[in-house]
Structure 1
Amino acid sequence: MKRTELNLAVQLGLVRTAGGKDPGRWRVARSEVERLQAAHGFPEALRGRVKLVGTSAGADLMGITRDRFTKLARLGFLVPAKFYINRYRAMVWLYLADDVRQFAEANAALLSGKAPVTLRTRLGAGEDRRARNWRERHCSHLLRLAQGPWEGAAVTASMLDAAQVMDLVPDPYERAYLNRLRPEAPGLPGGPDSPTAQAAARVLLADDPDEIRWLCTTLVLGLAEARKRHPAPRPGDPPPLPP
């Protein structure tokens, strides 16, 4: 399998991982590799489960127009699994082909005819849940990989802006520790100051008020649990014991 396919399989929980030596790193145990290789249809069956489609291919799978597909995604019915920035610096969303097929099979009424008034009203108000839904999926994946409460708190903090984190975490040593444990951003071409990275920043940080409130509450609760485990290290402290 390609590295990108394996990464997505891990995100979806299709491949079990163990923590690596470095925060945010993971490895696949030999026993898990053997389990996967013994599965019927490997590797093509697993590849099929992580197959991604864009708007055009997704619309074709569902037998609808690109415009209708985009509207369904904006309303949150289809959850992006990945994104990239194209050469025009536009966001391109990718979806699991399995998700698209399953939605089409279960929601035939939304594939033709006029959409319900409530949905048209939400679209008219500018609703677009694609970025938020991607973040929720990505956050769940990172929390599954977290090796302890400090790592989990770092995941939550990574989706808030610096000012919000400073308000919630006034201790500079705790903020530094969270930053050290911060998960790596999805791989994108160019450096952190590149136009691509700047465009992606819109997706990586929460911007919905309800989402921000949930993340803030989760961070406060996560920090309370982390502090019970061990305090954030200070200069000269021995390294904390592994979880």
Structure 2
Amino acid sequence: MSGTTITHESASALQPASGNPGASVGRSRAASELGLKRREFELAVGLGHIRTLADDGGGGCRVERAEIERLRTQEGFPQALRDRVEAVGTRQAAEFMRMTTVRFTRLARLGLLVPVAFYLNRYRAVVWLYLADELRQFAADEKNTSLLTRPLAETLRDQLDAGVDLRPRNWRGRHLGFLLRQAADDPWAQAAAPASLLDPLQISEIVPDPYERAHLNRHRTRPQPHGAPGSPAADLVEHLSTAQDADEIAWLRADLAQSMREARAHRPAPRPAPHHADPASRHLAPGPGSGRRPLGDRRRAADRRPALDSRRHAPERRRPPEPARQRSGRRPGQRSARRSPGLLGRLFRRGA
């Protein structure tokens, strides 16, 4: 009976949307059936090209069979789907737009081209990725002709000289949209989206309750780890994934506070069950045959136990040996005044 129950619960957890076995599949299986790599699949989900379901079993999102069939029947599958999620680096992006990598980097730093992802190479340098489809659209727009071929305006050059680089912030804004899209109708997951881009100290100020904060952290999503925790690579990724500008932090804090109000109203955070003890039963005397002494006697015995144990286990205290002259009461070489009477002394006493 127990084996049947466990099997039934596992099947229901894997199929949250339908009771039919095989109604949904995991991420890896869905990516394989759609002909996508893992990075391409994640981008397609974040961009909204693939609709997913929340897995109640805690295994991440799942994809319905009907959604997979919908995508497979689209015109140009699978190449059309791959083209929509194709991401390229700076060098290939500059080739798409027929410009130098220096000009492309300057446009990206100004926030005119928004990255969709990033990773660290073996030299711990940040490699930003851009959607090829968006780059083609940017290059085809006549409004951007001057940016592609002519010198940049003086205001833009001044910003570059001041060290402006909006690539991390623009990526965080796009990543926030990905998280909100995957949160669906769960208010706690929606509140975790802005929290994923805030420092833990900022979160503790907005959400002081530890149980709410723990429940919120279960829904937070962080980028894939790069290197061991605490390593330079991991610290760099953490820095890029956390809001840095004051106005960005203020906006995320306000969004988190509003989302938390909605989450509390929808469903309070789980808390441990309170322990109710009967005060009258604490000092009741044990019944006959219980073999236990009353509570007061046990406390008095416990109070005396350390003193008894200390006397029992204390080492025996011996008096140090006295010097020879203190023990005998005479100087060295002096004969004792009190000697046990011998035979001659007894004879003298008799004669007297």
What CA distance in whole angstroms lies between the structure 1 residues aligned with 2:124 and 2:103? 23
- More displaced, 185-194 or 29-38? 185-194
Cα distance, 1:25 vs structure 2: 1.8
SS in 2 for 1:73: helix
Shift of 1:32: 0.6
2:214 corresponds to which of 170, 176, 179: 176
- Alignment partner of 1:95: what SS? strand
Aligned pairs for 1:1-243 (under 5 A) are: 1-22=36-57, 25-106=60-141, 107-146=144-183, 147-183=185-221, 185-236=222-273
Q: 1:240 maps to what in 2?
A: none
User: Is the contact between residue 75 and residue 119 of structure 1 (CA under 8 Å) also seen in structure 2?
Assistant: yes
Change (3 A) 1:37 1:99: same
Partner SS for 1:57: helix
Deviations 1:131-169 (A, max 9, x none): 111111111111111141111111211211111111111
- Per the alignment, do residues 164 and 189 of structure 1 end up closer, same or farther by CA in structure 2, a change over 3 Å counting? closer
TM-aligned CA deviation for residue 24 of structure 1? 8.1
CA displacement at 1:69 relative to structure 2: 0.3
Structure 1 runs of 4+ off > 6 angstroms? none
1:80-112 CA distance string (max 9 Å, x none)? 111001111111101001111111111111011
Q: Which residue of 2 aligns with 1:241?
A: none
Secondary structure of the corresponding residue to residue 58 of structure 1: helix
Between 1:121-130 and 1:191-200, the stretch displaced more is 191-200
Cα distance between partner residues in 1 of 2:226 and 2:254? 33
C-alpha distance in structure 1 between counterparts of 2:194 and 2:202, whole Å: 11
How many residue pairs align between the two structures? 236
CA distance in 2, matches of 1:143, 1:104: 29
- Residues in 2 aligned to 1:105 and 1:16: alpha-carbon distance in whole angstroms: 29
Unmatched tracts of structure 2, length 5 or more:
1-35, 275-352
Shift of the 22–132 alpha-carbon distance from structure 1 to 2, 3 Å rule, reads: farther
